[in-house]
């Protein structure tokens, strides 16, 4: 029985008057890949952003309920959000490397945290790029701009940048939807490798991707969490009609 690293309790989120999340209860288990699926506008990205308080940056947002990371309330007034976002890293749909060298991208968070020792930085660059399965592609050009890489390579550098600060949880919002199928498969394989040491939550519109890489799947619909279970169960024998309709492509 794996332990829950992050737990949402009755989370409601309002954008002004619009209720985008209607009481979500969901536990993320350690060393698993959890997939969030559901039709466009159902609240997947909104929920993902509640897990590292990225919604705080939107002025009209109001959140109720509780989200705990290792038993600690992440919305408690004394929670340091910079620290939180190191512990809960995020990778976006569009690869967004900084316009710096590959080396400087990966060391960015460590340097911000005050790490200066060259050997420590070098070691972190190699281990993060290896973990993100991009080391062999870039080891001879660490000084070159990350922007000169392909989209799939950029996305893996972005994953390495997140890994470098050793997060407890990695959130990914449709990380492969801007990539060609071969690059997407490489990123999927990277995520499968990372599961051994990290916990991953991924939003995806690809049923194939969710069933291939995730351990558990959460189906969202119109701001509600309709069904959350082992991925096999969700795809082979869902309990709810809406889940069945969605995964079989009848809507969304
Ligand atoms: N910044 C915002 N301000 C106001 N409303 C928002 C904002 N972001 C999202 N919403 C609304 O909240 C609802 C959920 O949006 P969200 O982006 O979480 O959906 P999603 O499931 O990620 O969709 P998609 O699959 O299209 O990315 C939608 O109705 C959306 O219009
Ligand atoms: Mg989204």
* Per-chain mean pLDDT for the chain: 95
Q: Give the atom of ligand 1 at the shortest distance from the alpha carbon of 43.
A: 18
Q: Give the atom of ligand 1 at the shortest distance from the alpha carbon of 48.
A: 18
Question: Does residue 15 line the site of ligand 1, with CB under 6 A?
Answer: yes
Ligand nearest to the CA of 55: 1
CATH number of 88's domain: 3.40.50.300
Do the domain assignments include residue 252? no
pLDDT value at 230 more than 70: yes
CB contact at 8 A, 37 and 204: yes
Name the residue with the closest Cα to ligand 1, atom 3.
15
Full strand arrangement of the beta sheet holding 4-15: 18-29, 4-15, 61-69, 72-73
How many CB atoms neighbour CB 154 within 10 A? 23
pLDDT value at 139 more than 80: yes
pLDDT value at 68 more than 70: yes
Question: Does residue 48 line the site of ligand 1, with CB under 6 A?
Answer: no
pLDDT score recorded for residue 162 = 96
Give me the domain span that covers residue 139.
4-247
Question: Does residue 45 line the site of ligand 1, with CB under 6 A?
Answer: yes
Question: Does residue 78 line the site of ligand 1, with CB under 6 A?
Answer: no
Do the domain assignments include residue 242? yes
Number of domains in the chain: 1
pLDDT in tens, 187-206: 999 999 999 999 999 999 99
Do the domain assignments include residue 141? yes
67 pLDDT tier (thresholds 50, 70, 90): very high
pLDDT value at 251 more than 80: no
250 pLDDT tier (thresholds 50, 70, 90): confident
pLDDT score recorded for residue 1 = 57
């Amino acid at each position: 029985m794996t332990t829950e690293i992050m737990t949402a309790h009755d989370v409601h989120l309002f954008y002004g008057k619009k209720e985008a999340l209607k009481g979500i209860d969901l536990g993320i288990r350690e060393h698993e890949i959890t997939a969030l699926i559901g039709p466009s506008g159902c609240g997947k990205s909104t929920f993902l952003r509640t897990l590292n308080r990225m919604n705080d940056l939107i002025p009209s947002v109001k959140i109720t309920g509780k989200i705990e990371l290792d038993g600690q309330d992440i919305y408690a007034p004394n929670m340091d959000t910079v620290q939180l976002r190191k512990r809960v890293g995020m990778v976006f749909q569009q690869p967004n490397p900084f316009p710096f060298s590959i080396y400087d991208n990966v060391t960015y968070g460590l340097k911000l945290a005050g790490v200066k020792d060259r050997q420590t930085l070098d070691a972190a660059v190699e281990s993060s790029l290896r973990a993100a399965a991009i080391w062999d592609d870039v080891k001879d050009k660490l000084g070159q701009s990350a922007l000169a890489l392909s989209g799939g390579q950029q996305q893996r550098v972005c994953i390495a940048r997140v890994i470098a600060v050793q997060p407890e949880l990695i959130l990914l919002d449709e990380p492969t939807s801007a990539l060609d199928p071969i690059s997407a498969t490489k990123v999927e394989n990277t995520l499968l490798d990372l599961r051994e040491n990290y916990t991953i939550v991924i939003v995806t519109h690809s049923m194939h991707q969710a069933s291939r890489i995730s351990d558990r799947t959460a189906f969202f619909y119109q701001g509600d969490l309709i069904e959350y279970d082992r991925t096999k169960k969700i795809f082979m024998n869902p309990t709810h009609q809406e889940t069945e309709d969605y995964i079989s492509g009848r809507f969304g």
